[in-house]
Structure 1
Amino acid sequence: MVLRAQRPMSSLIRMLGTYRWSLVVVALIFVVKDSSLWLLPVITSKVIDAVVAGGPVSTIAVLGLIGGLLLVQVYPLHVLFTRVYMGVVRNLAAGLRNALTARLQSLSIGYHGRTSASVIQSKVVRDVENIELMFSQIGNPLGSAIVVFTGAVVTTAITVPQFLPVFALAIPCGIAVWWILRRRSQLRNEVFRRQMEHFSRRVGEMATLMPITRAHGLEDVAIDRVALSAEGVRRDGLSLDMVNGHFGALSWVVMQLLALGCLIGAGVLSVLHWVPITVGQVVLLSTYFTTLTGTVLTVLSFMPVVSRGRESVKSLAEVLEEPDLEQNAGKREVDDVLGSFELHDVVVNYGDNSPNALDGVTLSVQPGETVAFVGSSGSGKSTLINMLLGFVRPTSGRVLLDGQDMQDLDLRTARRRVSVVPQESVLFEGSIRENVAYGLSHVGDDDIRDALREANAWELVTSLPDGWDTVVGERGARLSGGQRQRISIARAIIRDPRVLVLDEATSALDAQSEQAVQEALERLMRGRTTLVVAHRLSTVMHADRIVVLERGRIVEVGTHEQLVQAGGRYAKLWDLQFR
């Protein structure tokens, strides 16, 4: 599913081509359903002429019956129209949301690191909803306008062809009004959309920082930050409303002047006998033009909705056209992982004239080996781990997984044999059982129970009233840090990974929780390649090797004892923490 920010509406219309046969059915429904809008004025004019002529009554009765049938058929056909047309709209919206989700899963970790989760949520929810709203609101009026215009023009051409030029004025006048204000409308919609994204970001920050805000008594600061952004939404929203107000008022005045002109013109021509028009035809022409201008006015009134929808399409295109992808498509899939890594003169640079995050790193990790990475903040530990996971691609150099260049591999398939236990465990709002078995359909109760026991979490589960069916809350808010971490470890254990990444896995825990988690981690690490990132050196003392990083370079490699005896950078860090 492709949207283009430069041509948002045309790309959206191309997407509708997927549902062309449903839209053909919709068009056929409209031809019949809205025939009453242009046939009833014909019936009205003939009834008036029959009355003026003095009958017969049978003619009036037949015309009444035909009019009644035209009205009654609207109900079932409108229900059918709603079913078919809104089915297309809902399918389109679902397709957009699915396409966005798939694209977001393909974008790099770097993209997600610099893009607010609240903004992404706004695009998936609000912007797609705007597109749904646009199609749902304009579908029926636009279809009616086309049917009425066609029927009115054909009937007028047959009965009073002299008035065709007058009818032809309605469309260009409507287009002229739209053209005059379209640039201002598009600009205001874009500014308002950006302001709403900024507001969503502020609200997301407020929710995330709530514990910090409360802990430091900064409620007023948080309120002021959100209020400042809300003021921007109010200001830009009002500016957009004013543009839409000008558009609506100008459209109404122009259309009503045209309708009045048509009525007066038809009356004058009939009285002066310049054109052979009956009283009924005067009513017919006036009704047609009033209906036509009213329909055009209705369509024009939805132009602000269309402008908002157009801006939402551009917003979605920003994601769907984002080039910062994690390139996996078409690459070789990985059936199994042994757990060996080789880095050859690897350089990573994030651009923007920044220094290299990794600078000439060469390292080999053997299957089943536990390697710890330590160093000061900004030394390159996280970049190195992210590169081994394939989240970051080297600017130069090579990274091999089991002897294969990772540039040639579909790393999504490799990561199925990798588990990550981060510093802050991420749980979703579901049960403990659902969190442990996340993404796995083949695991049974015994597997989940064994994983929880291995993670030192079974006692926690049995102490809860609902056991493993206990809902943990958003991001696991109903559990303590140590409890969340043990659930996270159980989730890693049940996957039986070949590579384990521990990213500060115990640094945020109290002593008692750390002991329980550390015991679980030691069981999890057995026989697996384990990559450990740590600031607390006590957690990496028993690693097979410790790699010390500074400014993106490896400055020392060895066991704990070797590095302490060497008296280098590691020894200084050790002294700072324990002496």
Structure 2
Amino acid sequence: MHQPVPDHLDHRYRGEHPIRTLGHLFRPDRARLLLACALFVVKHSPIWLLPLITATVLDVVVQHGDQAELWQATGVLLFILVINYPLHQWYVRLLAGSIRRMGTTLRSALCRRMQQLSIGYHARVSSSVLQAKVVRDVEAVEQMVQQSSDMGLGAVVTLVGGLVVIGLRTPEFLPVFLVVVPAAGYLVMRLRGRLRTHNEEFRREVEHLSSRVGEMTTLIPITRAHGLERTALGRVDGSLRQVFAAGLRLDTMNGRFNSAAWVLLNILGVCCLTGSALVAYHGWLPVTPGDVVMLSSFFTVLTNSTTTLLGLAPVISKGLESVRSAGEVLQAPDLESNAGKAGVERVTGRIDFERVGFSYGDEAPAVDGFTLTARPGETIALVGASGAGKSTVLNLLIGFIRPTSGRILLDGTDMAALDLRSYRRFLSVVPQESILFEGSIRDNVTYGLGDTDEETLLGALRDANALEFVERLPDGLETVVGERGARLSGGQKQRLAIARALIRDPRVLVLDEATSALDNRSEALVQEALARLVHGRTVFVVAHRLSTIRGADRIVVMDGGRIAETGTHGELLERGGVYAGLQPASR
């Protein structure tokens, strides 16, 4: 079941201790977790009750005491052993459900935040890194909570139960046992800092490797075409060596930590055992043979429990670091802010750029003093050399980025005051390379529209010149296109992208190099489909091919982020300016 997550997005993750963050994530399940802990205490009681019952039985045997005590002790132990099974099932159901809900909520919150983060953020942060946070980091948090609950809670309950029994039966030895816990805590505090440093280093190296592998798989066609397999593998091998070195350092540190803890705790145990035996032997304190056996058993049990707690330190450290890692996304400040802004209910298609400027960081302006008015139904082509600012203008129009100076008006309203999500319902984009997901042709064309009648779908495919090849496919509309449309040609994918735009009946259309990667036949089909698509809509088109731009109502020539000249194709050629100089490359 989908869990509501807006409150999880509003929480302040960055700058607070991860334990507090976990407390926030588990807040809806507090009652279940408290009940699970209570059940665990009861079901786990045989571990710390067994030494006490053993001591009672041994004293009855040695001292020939009342047999009723023997049967009473046996009955208590058998009862708590029998009820362990149902209590354990109940505990697992409560705990596992809470952990899975937390993981689902955290993953949902991460995915929701990714949808809210700006395109600039996604341009800076690798998709592989974000994927690792959603999958690997959340899994590490789940594992930390699961192991801490099972092993950690068991160790704590055993320690507390054992110390209570010792305090009630042989209080003289309680101070001796209390030395073990502070010693373990001190060791954890000393080493946790170094473990955290190594965990952070290892996480960064794994994220870097994930990014490298993602890059390698994306570039495989180019790598294969140029015979650069060895170069690509060399880049990945460098990351693999760094992951190996960071992992080995982490494992070595964990090994030293666990070994030192085990040796120290067992030395303490031997000392305590020898001391209690000498006390009983010389009769310095009223200690029975059963007490010696009980103390001996508790030394082992409590030492193992403390060792377990120490062994959890790397898991906890890794889990808390994963909480911090998720917090980096959940509190990333680079958001597209739409909250509280006016929704767009209707678009006629008038776009006004008023002295718009935009800079990427401290770099020179990518767009500077850009002033342009697009009338409803007008087609405007943006041309210019690489780096002239064409793509930046399109990104400003779509709302991927906001102007750093000037303003953009939609039908007379400043877009800075509008909820861009509602504006984009009236906008469609046909990029250079159509992006399809691994689903059917029907799903890809109607993506996000819900139920669409067959006639509308077929009409969009027909107008996009796509129906002719769709009907030839074995499964027709239900044909699965493969990952990123791998089973289709470039022209087929582009025509599906046009069908996707047509079926939405947009008022504003953006064509970004929509035909540049096509052969002549595919381009002719796509151009014919585009002619139907642009009719009656406000269109901004970026293209290098003359055939794509010569029919535009106005051509805007850009140079260095500014408008160099505007006019129709014929007017600009007659002037012999910048546009005329671009024509040999355009052909």
TM-score normalised by the chain length of structure 1: 0.97
Query: 1:70: which partner in 2?
Result: 80
Q: Equivalent residue of 2:382, what SS?
A: strand
Same amino acid, percent of matched pairs: 52
Q: CA deviation at 1:57?
A: 4.4
* Distance in 1 of aligned mates of 2:511 and 2:47: 70
Q: Is 1:546 aligned to 2:565, yes or no?
A: no
Which residue identity is paired with 1:414?
Answer: Y
Divergent runs of 4+, >6 A: none
Cα deviation for residue 576 of structure 1 reads 4.3
1:398 aligns with 2:407: yes
CA distance in 2, matches of 1:405, 1:107: 21
Aligned positions of 1:418-497 closer than 5 A: 418-497=427-506
- What does 1:53-452 correspond to in 2, within 5 Å? 53-352=63-362, 354-452=363-461
- Distance, in Å, in 2 between the alignment partners of 1:238 and 1:575 is 58
Counterpart AA for 1:314 = R
State the match for 2:35 in structure 1: 25
Q: CA deviation at 1:371?
A: 0.8
Aligned to 2:3: none
Instruction: Indicate the larger mover: 539-548 or 140-149.
Output: 140-149
Name the aligned partner's letter for residue 428 of structure 2.
S
Residue 255 of structure 1, CA deviation: 1.7
Cα RMSD of the aligned pairs, angstroms, is 1.4
Once structures 1 and 2 are overlaid, which stretch shifts more, 157-166 or 542-551? 157-166
Letter in 2 for 1:464: L
Q: Is the 8 A contact 1:4 1:11 kept in 2?
A: no
1:257-304 deviation digits (Å, cap 9, x = unpaired) = 222222212111111111101111111222223212211211211111
231-240 or 310-319: which moved more?
310-319
C-alpha distance in 1, partners of 2:360/2:395?
13
Deviation string, structure 1 residues 213-250 (Cα, Å, up to 9, x no partner)? 11111111111111111011111100000010011101
In the alignment, the residues of structure 1 paired with residue 476 and residue 522 of structure 2 have an alpha-carbon distance, to the nearest angstrom, of: 20
SS of aligned partner of 1:335: coil
Amino acid at match of 2:411: D
Query: For 1:432 and 1:70, how far apart are their aligned partners in 2?
Result: 60
The CA distance in 2 between the partners of 1:377 and 1:528, in whole Å, is 27
**Contact 1:186–1:307 (CA<8 Å) still a contact in 2?**
yes
Deviation at 1:574, TM superposition (A): 1.7
Q: Structure 2: which 5+ runs fail to align?
A: 1-7
| Separation in 1, partners of 2:66, 2:177 | 32
Measured in 2, the distance between the counterparts of 1:125 and 1:139 equals 21
- Deviation at 1:317? 1.5
SS of the aligned residue for 2:436 comes to coil
Match of 2:540 in 1: 531
8 Å CA contact 1:370, 1:531 repeated in 2: yes
- For the pair 1:563 / 2:577, whether they are aligned, the reply is no
In 1: Cα distance, 2:524 partner to 2:505 partner: 22
Letter in 2 for 1:36: P
What SS does the corresponding residue of 1:91 show, helix, strand or coil? Answer: helix
Partner of 2:5: none
Partner Cα separation in structure 1 for residue 376 and residue 285 of structure 2: 97
Structure 1 gap ranges (5+): none
The whole-number CA distance in structure 1 between the counterparts of 2:126 and 2:190 is 36
- 1:500 maps to a residue whose letter is L
Write the deviation string for residues 469-500 of structure 1: whole angstroms up to 9, x where unpaired: 11111100111000111111111111111111
3-state SS of 2:239 partner: helix
2:525 alignment partner in structure 1: 516
Greater shift, 502-511 or 129-138, is seen at 129-138
Residue 58 of structure 1 deviates from its aligned partner by 4.7
- Distance in 1 of aligned mates of 2:16 and 2:197: 14
- For residues 431-490 of structure 1, the C-alpha deviation after alignment (integer angstroms, 9 at most, x for no partner) is 111111111113122222221111111111111111111111110011100011111111
* Cα contact 2:156–2:305 (8 A) shared by 1: no
**Contact 1:5-1:318 at 8 Å conserved across structures:** no
Secondary structure, counterpart of 2:352 in structure 1: strand
Superposition pairs for residues 33-52 of structure 1, below 5 Å? 33-52=43-62
Deviations 1:126-182 (A, max 9, x none): 111111111111111222223222222222222111111122112211111112211
Is the CA contact (8 Å cut-off) linking 2:338 and 2:418 kept in structure 1? yes
Q: Deviations over 1:501-532 (max 9, x none)?
A: 10000110001101111111111111111110
1:5: how far off? 5.0
The aligned residue for residue 4 of structure 2 is none
Mapped to 1, the partners of 2:102 and 2:191 lie a distance apart of 29
CA deviation digits over 1:384-423, x for unaligned, max 9?
Answer: 0100111111111111111111111110111011110000
Shift of 1:189: 0.7
The two structures have a TM-score, normalised by structure 2, of 0.96
Q: Does the 8 A contact of 1:5 with 1:317 survive in 2?
A: no
Contact kept? 1:423, 1:507, Cα under 8 Å:
yes
Q: Which amino acid aligns with 1:356?
A: P
- The one-letter code of the counterpart of 2:171 is P
Quote the Cα distance in structure 2 between the aligned partners of 1:438 and 1:217: 38
Amino acid at match of 2:480: V
Per the TM alignment, residue 577 of structure 1 is displaced from its structure 2 partner at its CA by 3.6
- Residue identity matched to 1:156: I
User: Which shows bigger deviation, 73-82 or 236-245?
Assistant: 73-82
> After alignment, is 544-553 or 215-224 more displaced?
215-224
State the AA in 2 paired with 1:487. L
Looking at structure 1, the residues matched to 431 and 585 of structure 2 have their Cα atoms a distance apart, in angstroms, of 25
Query: Which one of 503, 511, 530 corresponds to residue 512 of structure 2?
Result: 503
Distance in 2, matches of 1:137 and 1:173, equals 22
Residue 56 of structure 1, CA deviation: 4.6
